[in-house]
Structure 1
């Protein structure tokens, strides 16, 4: 069992209501004629029958898969797996850690197997579906002894009209129970339900609403659909809760009765003030903030999609032919227009900020500010003031009129926190509070300032390992990681020729009028690029091409002699095959002799840093880029040496 899993090992909190639920499930299990000592029924559907079952649940399957992938990324390396079932408890799809997936198959946690209570007794899937409510079944709470090595958290998935469609479950080794698992499963199931709801209705008005404006466009928003004449059609879970009326009562209501104005008036306000939130009044007199749109019928919707794809998309512009990058862009595109926090992982220089800017430009916030903060480049003593702002006289050296801070500057737009793993723990606590309360209090200030922003974070570090080490807050991790994507290193990409062409074209467009920059590289240069390890990734290649283009001014192409002199001599970097090292900064390979003590290695490391600084005239930023390290790391290692 991994150290991370072991560090979180626990048991579910004692809950009388859950105890009653388990007792009812055991009673049903006994009623089915099962006994605790019975061997589990491992019978599975044949391949053809399973294929037909997936086809019959195609909409659920289609909308659940991307969410399952995200959930699986969040629970990776915890000896557990994500399962999707139909309404009868038959597993349609599973994603799991390799070692645990092998063990799971031995207890029939596999596609085609039924986990209904009638065959498996008390278990999270069967019990959640039988009770039509979320269920945690842990270890000895399972009816069959064969299943008592498991801990399972399951949430039913309902369709737009409240009908049971299936269930989402996370099952794992009982020794690795984690209190946050059910929260993640609940959020994921709600996301699937919201996707199903928003895509089900055509030729209808869809209103998204919440009493708190920052929750509109998020997982927690209420949604309600209305016919063009204002007749109520359906609402999602949050919508039903906020409206506070029974489904039977809602079916007799109109838009005007539920939201205090005619549907036509609300649609006109939405058109007249695009991007602005409407203020509507519920029957309970509660004010809610809302966005409303008239969904096109199928033919008009297809035409709209065709028109949209024909327009310039910042995300589409990043698709240069690499399959891994295309998969990243496809996942990000699925949450386009939603304020879902995104965590971008990858080595230094892989283009994390480029992706964040593209996400921002393609979102409804695209016309608002994009504010980027590199948490690794700001001294620890200044990062609090930089992020949260400060009032006049808050500290010695503060500006006379204070500073609003990056969070306030990003109001209405997107805040990009690069190298979030380098943020000090004290500031992680403050950031968590801001994200919860959607308000920031500057240093020396007495009043909180409301902020409406989307957050995108990036890091090259392994945040899970940092959580285990106590250097990164677990609650902040889950707050910023609703969707995570990993950018491939440049040496792993298959689209290098297209990237080179794209970078040269962009540099040509930015060149001063009259400069004759080359628009291509010679074949031997391209071959050299494809063999190169690129420790600095895209950032390094941009700098190499910029310098080479200047050296080749007046020429049609860049040749080997135009490349920077130090390009051939730069140190080769280790290529650790361990997946966990994918988020750690590249480490120079140093010759180790019998006398290779840590002191000698530090001397060698310091010498490499000094050489890089000398090549770049003492410019720390350029030296850091060449070595694939952050500026703060350079300063720390120089100080240590």
Structure 2
């Protein structure tokens, strides 16, 4: 059952809902902002959306095909953007979980988004905890997003069908919200002197580190939420401080110490007397200290700033798979021949990697490569993002206007990912650009010549969309000169090489994959393809830090539940790790489950409790599967 304090919070939220005049059986308010008003709100929240969109993409990749959706709202609970599984999006439409609809408590009663705003804390609202009966088929996990002044500026939420509740969702949402906060925080104080600190050196460079910003003369500017927690002071109190009053030395002395320390971290004392390990960044991206030698017999791996990852070449992409090698060989013959390129394949097969590799192999390699995900930009913003706009083109437009992606790509390559999601009226405008080779921004009277190559990608059946009038036939044949169909990861023969390549990209070529885990990789269908494999390995590397081998115990719980299926019960259940379902009718699955259990026990040296924790199942399940209970 939910904890007492959680139940009390829900009861308070229900009392607020009743005070707003809502009744349990009332029909929800489905009112939606008009297109112009929604565009204004999106413009007002452009900074939030810019930093949230890639995090939402990453979060959705971790929950794809689980009957859920990712939602971003503004500070009032007005939905700005959503990503979700098609089957659940249809259900979401029934309760207006759509951009332009308000999900405050005043509008929808107790719900995770509105209640997270009201309570200013991460909130799970499951099934009948929703105030309105119409919303009780949902399970929702929401976390407020705070700005540098501690004000709520938005909410990140994952909503799904109540029968598909997952106990790890809230943790994913909270981490994702903190990523957005940290990125916005860094962007807001690019010219500040930043002190990154934590009482444990291994947490530097992670979401747990604190970041405090100061002017060059040592005046306090802002602190991240983790920094506020460690400093033990509210923003209002910190605004009266300087670096010297907080850390007991002038800022100039700290910077000198950082420079002299070379590759070592420095230690600072907080006002409460706690000692922390710190790094200093005096200018954007400049790391003044890194790594630490804590004691003669305990050395922490040196941390240094890494340059931005370079894109893979066509040869590297070919790997050891015959299908991909043949595709690359054909591609080499058409690059720089004025032939439009269309990349197709399932989500996550590496279409963006291939587009970057094509650009690097082309005569335009020294020009810009500009990528636009047509599915990730709200429809009301995509026109201004692509074509740009003049000052005063619409209410809320920025002074001096904005150059669109088409002009930004001038002299280089524009990659239009998920081209099938481009609205029809913009398809017509894009066709005109391709024909006339000029761009007219919104609100502009004149056009500007543009010289670009366009590469498109899609996982949708464009020919079927043409038949249903969802995609323009004339644009299709303008873009569809040479089709490059990337195979799914499960159909490739170079999985081992793919794993090695990803580890190299993560600067972890020294890491090994346990043979038992590689067997699991080879049997897994990889519905998320290369992107899923890449995300999994990145997570596993963090969990295996300090070790030389990645095993089952380092894999995320949701992956283990895919390879060893479990039944997820609602949050109200006392035991949130139920046993594996019976599978006597499927001997292949039973053998796989037994093999994984035996491998986990071997890695845990026979410790059943540790093996159960690794696999996310109960000890009784292990005994039952092994025939001992």
Bin for the TM-score computed over the shorter chain: 0.5 to 0.7
The counterpart of 2:561, out of the listed 452, 467, 471, is 467
Is 1:327 aligned to 2:352, yes or no? yes
Q: Any conservation in 2 of the 1:201–1:225 contact (CA below 8 Å)?
A: yes
Normalised TM-score (structure 2): 0.53
- Structure 2 CA distance for partners of 1:372 and 1:452, relative to 1, 3 Å: closer
The counterpart of 1:64, out of the listed 46, 49, 52, is 52
- Structure 2 CA distance for partners of 1:434 and 1:329, relative to 1, 3 Å: closer
Report how far residue 229 of structure 1 moved. Answer: 0.7
Q: Any conservation in 2 of the 1:270–1:293 contact (CA below 8 Å)?
A: no
Give the greater-gyration-radius structure (CA). 1
Report how far residue 205 of structure 1 moved. Answer: 0.5
Tell me the equivalent position of 2:502. 355
- Structure 2 CA distance for partners of 1:420 and 1:230, relative to 1, 3 Å: farther
Tell me the equivalent position of 2:310. 315
Tell me the equivalent position of 1:493. none
Tell me the equivalent position of 2:462. none
What secondary structure does 1:122 align onto? coil
Is 1:247 aligned to 2:235, yes or no? yes
1:564-589 per-residue CA deviation (whole Å, 9 max, x = no partner) reads xxxxxxxxxxxxxxxxxxxxxxxxxx
Tell me the equivalent position of 1:35. 23
Matches within 5 A, 1:288-303: 288-296=276-284
Normalised TM-score (structure 1): 0.52
1:534-563 per-residue CA deviation (whole Å, 9 max, x = no partner) reads xxxxxxxxxxxxxxxxxxxxxxxxxxxxxx
Tell me the equivalent position of 1:403. none
Report how far residue 45 of structure 1 moved. Answer: 1.3
- Structure 2 CA distance for partners of 1:435 and 1:372, relative to 1, 3 Å: closer
Matches within 5 A, 1:235-634: 235-296=223-284, 315-318=310-313, 325=350, 327=352, 347-349=492-494, 351-360=498-507, 370-376=509-515, 421=521, 466-470=560-564
Give the distance between the partners of 2:562 and 2:518, measured in 1 at CA.
21
Give the distance between the partners of 1:245 and 1:194, measured in 2 at CA.
19
Tell me the equivalent position of 1:176. 164
Report how far residue 236 of structure 1 moved. Answer: 0.9
Give the distance between the partners of 1:101 and 1:184, measured in 2 at CA.
20
Tell me the equivalent position of 2:68. 80
Give the distance between the partners of 2:250 and 2:355, measured in 1 at CA.
38
1:292-320 per-residue CA deviation (whole Å, 9 max, x = no partner) reads 102349xxxxxxxxxxxxx9865235478
The counterpart of 1:215, out of the listed 199, 203, 207, is 203
- Structure 2 CA distance for partners of 1:247 and 1:356, relative to 1, 3 Å: same
Is 1:226 aligned to 2:225, yes or no? no
Give the distance between the partners of 2:307 and 2:160, measured in 1 at CA.
44
Give unmatched runs, 5+ long, in structure 1: 1-12, 298-310, 332-343, 361-368, 381-416, 424-431, 439-450, 475-597, 599-641
Q: Any conservation in 1 of the 2:503–2:511 contact (CA below 8 Å)?
A: no
Report how far residue 422 of structure 1 moved. Answer: 7.9
Tell me the equivalent position of 1:116. 104
Tell me the equivalent position of 2:95. 107
Tell me the equivalent position of 1:428. none
1:583-620 per-residue CA deviation (whole Å, 9 max, x = no partner) reads xxxxxxxxxxxxxxx9xxxxxxxxxxxxxxxxxxxxxx
Give the distance between the partners of 2:494 and 2:88, measured in 1 at CA.
34
Report how far residue 159 of structure 1 moved. Answer: 0.6
Give the distance between the partners of 2:169 and 2:43, measured in 1 at CA.
29
Give unmatched runs, 5+ long, in structure 2: 286-305, 318-334, 336-341, 344-348, 357-487, 524-538, 569-586, 588-629
Give the distance between the partners of 2:548 and 2:260, measured in 1 at CA.
24
What secondary structure does 1:316 align onto? coil
Report how far residue 42 of structure 1 moved. Answer: 1.1
Report how far residue 352 of structure 1 moved. Answer: 3.4
Give the distance between the partners of 2:312 and 2:243, measured in 1 at CA.
41
Q: CA RMSD in A?
A: 3.8
The counterpart of 2:183, out of the listed 181, 191, 195, is 195
What secondary structure does 2:245 align onto? helix
1:311-364 per-residue CA deviation (whole Å, 9 max, x = no partner) reads 986523547899764636999xxxxxxxxxxxx98755263322332332xxxx
- Structure 2 CA distance for partners of 1:28 and 1:56, relative to 1, 3 Å: same
Give the distance between the partners of 1:82 and 1:286, measured in 2 at CA.
39
- Structure 2 CA distance for partners of 1:48 and 1:435, relative to 1, 3 Å: closer
Tell me the equivalent position of 2:323. none
Tell me the equivalent position of 2:426. none
Q: Any conservation in 2 of the 1:419–1:457 contact (CA below 8 Å)?
A: no
Give the distance between the partners of 2:240 and 2:540, measured in 1 at CA.
42
What secondary structure does 2:16 align onto? helix
Report how far residue 281 of structure 1 moved. Answer: 1.4
- Structure 2 CA distance for partners of 1:272 and 1:422, relative to 1, 3 Å: farther
Q: Any conservation in 2 of the 1:345–1:458 contact (CA below 8 Å)?
A: no
Report how far residue 263 of structure 1 moved. Answer: 1.5
Q: Any conservation in 1 of the 2:512–2:550 contact (CA below 8 Å)?
A: no
1:490-527 per-residue CA deviation (whole Å, 9 max, x = no partner) reads xxxxxxxxxxxxxxxxxxxxxxxxxxxxxxxxxxxxxx
Report how far residue 262 of structure 1 moved. Answer: 2.2
